[in-house]
Amino acid sequence: MRKVCVMEGDGIGKEVIPEALKVLKELGDFEIIKGDVGLECLKKYGTALPDETIEKAKEADVILFGAITSPKPNEVKNYKSPIITLRRMFDLYANVRPINNFGVGELIGRLNNYEFLKVKDVDLVIIRENTEGLYVGREKILEDDIAISERIITRKGSERIIRFAFEYAKRNNRKKVSCIHKANVLRVSDGLFLKIFNEIKEKYNNIKADDFLVDSTAMNLIKYPEKFDVIVTTNLFGDILSDEASVLIGGLGLAPSANIGGKKALFEPVHGSAPDIAGKGIANPMASILSVAMLFDYMGEKEKGDIIREAVKQCIINKKTTPDLGGNLKTVEVGDEIVRYIRKRI
């Protein structure tokens, strides 16, 4: 039987992943192996990512990850983020982050009293390079007062993520790939990224290609989201732009992601452990449930992914949502509602 390694992590990770598991079990037959990860795990066992969890992840076909809390800077010596370690360990080089409001943007705006959300439907995908850039962990202190973080951009890393973005566009009938960079200042590193983008785009005649600076993109994503289709970018920019873009669809509660490599994949909500709402039972489980939809897509069962996306859409239309989307349901109730809509469909 196919194996899923499930890591709930900290904070709302422990609240949203059980709901995602309900949906996973409703639609698929998987052996579920649970692994400890995160700050609580570090306090209990002295490591945020135990060897035992790594072994379980190796054994599994796919990983479902919740969210973890990071210790404060300098609180833990030599701390390495488990999620960054997992991405690098399994070479999960492509982080795919769809930003989609299922055509109910106006409704979400109304539910939320967000004027700016009342107008637009949004459907774009951010493809973030996931193994290099500023996240390689090469940081050092020189003479106490100078801190250096190295940003690594390689031809190999850039070629494969840019090719991935164009192949993704081709497969999903998308019309355009935009390269987002800061090559006007980071002339060497982003200069290389952009140069490789310009080489690769020539091989995809049917897909439009353009490129923009990351700072003006931060503005244009909010002002003209319809100008974007597939975005390909480096690690840090992709991290920041995806949280920003989630605002267009009502927030992080609706932003799922897939971390894809050659042999394995990890699925997780874009959000973190949300300590401000953890323990209250009000976290939106939809981002995690939509990550399960991406898991089914990856497994070649896109029809199941579509059923999940439709169930989430029905929940929003019928105002069965947590407070972040303007509703008054609890995390568990939203999970139950989604399962109910799934049962109606199949």
Residue 273 touches which member of ligand NAD, Mn ion, none, C-beta under 5-8 Å by kind? ligand NAD
- Alpha-carbon dihedral sign for residues 212, 214, 218, 221: positive
Cα 194 to Cα 213: distance, rounded to the nearest angstrom: 11
Q: Which positions from 12 through 31 interact with ligand NAD, judged by CB under 6 A?
A: 12, 16
CA-based nearest residue to 49, from 84, 90, 91: 84
Q: CB under 5 A: which stretch of 146-154, 205-213, 231-239, 251-259 binds Mn ion?
A: 231-239
Distance (Å, whole) CA 155 – CA 144? 33
Minimum Å gap between C-beta 191 and ligand NAD is: 29
Q: Which of 103, 262, 275, 279 binds ligand NAD (CB under 6 A)?
A: 275
- The DSSP letter of residue 334 is H
Q: Which is nearer to ligand NAD, 202 or 276 (CB)?
A: 276
Does position 83 interact with ligand NAD (CB under 6 A)? The reply is yes
Q: If binding is defined by CB under 6 A, does position 308 make contact with ligand NAD?
A: no
Measured in whole angstroms, the distance separating CA 35 from the mean position of its chain's CA atoms is 20
Cα separation, 122 vs 225, whole angstroms: 7
The verdict on whether 215 is a catalytic residue reads yes
Site stretch for ligand NAD (CB under 6 A), options 47-55, 87-95, 210-218, 270-278: 270-278
Residue whose structure tokens are 């059923």: 307
**Catalytic residue list contains 239:** yes
Q: Which does residue 297 bind out of ligand NAD, Mn ion, none, counting CB within 5 to 8 angstroms by kind?
A: none
**Count of other CB atoms within 10 angstroms of residue 216:** 11
* CA distances from residue 182 to 127, 185, 210, 215, 264 in whole angstroms, order as listed: 16, 6, 14, 8, 31
DSSP per-residue letters across 36-104: --SHHHHHHHS-SS-HHHHHHHHHSSEEEEEE-PPPPTTTSTT---HHHHHHHHTT--EEEEEEE-TT-
Q: Is residue 329 a contact residue for ligand NAD (CB under 6 A)?
A: no
For the bound state, the minimum distance from the C-beta of residue 202 to Mn ion, rounded and expressed in Å, comes to 32
Among the listed residues 44, 45, 215, 223, the single catalytic one is 215
CA 316 to chain centre: 20
Catalytic, 182? Answer yes
Report what 239 binds from ligand NAD, Mn ion, none; CB cut-off 5-8 Å by kind.
Answer: Mn ion
Q: How many residues bind ligand NAD, per CB under 6 A?
A: 21
Spatial separation of the C-alpha atoms in residues 249 and 303, rounded to whole Å: 23
**From the list ligand NAD, Mn ion, none, which binds 258 (C-beta under 5 to 8 Å, kind-based)?**
none
Choose, from 61, 229, 243, 306, the residue flagged as catalytic: 243
Cβ atoms of 7 and 18 closer than 8 Å: no
Q: Does 239 bind Mn ion (CB under 5 A)?
A: yes
| Site residue total, Mn ion (CB under 5 A) | 1
Stretch that binds ligand NAD, among 151-159, 163-171, 274-282, 306-314 (CB under 6 A): 274-282
Task: For residue 316, state whether it binds ligand NAD (rule: CB under 6 A).
Answer: no
Catalytic site residue 223? no
Name the 3-class secondary structure at 194: helix
The yes or no reply on residue 274 touching ligand NAD (CB under 6 A) is yes
Q: Which two tokens stand for residue 113?
A: 């009293």
Judged by beta carbon distances under 5 to 8 A according to partner kind, the member of Mn ion, ligand NAD, none in contact with residue 275 is ligand NAD
CB 256 within 8 A of CB 287: yes
8 vs 239, which CB is nearer to Mn ion? 239
Q: Provide the binding-site residues for Mn ion, judged by CB under 5 A.
A: 239
Q: Which residues are catalytic?
A: 135, 182, 215, 239, 243
Q: Provide the binding-site residues for ligand NAD, judged by CB under 6 A.
A: 12, 16, 67-70, 83, 252-253, 268, 271-277, 283-284, 287, 324
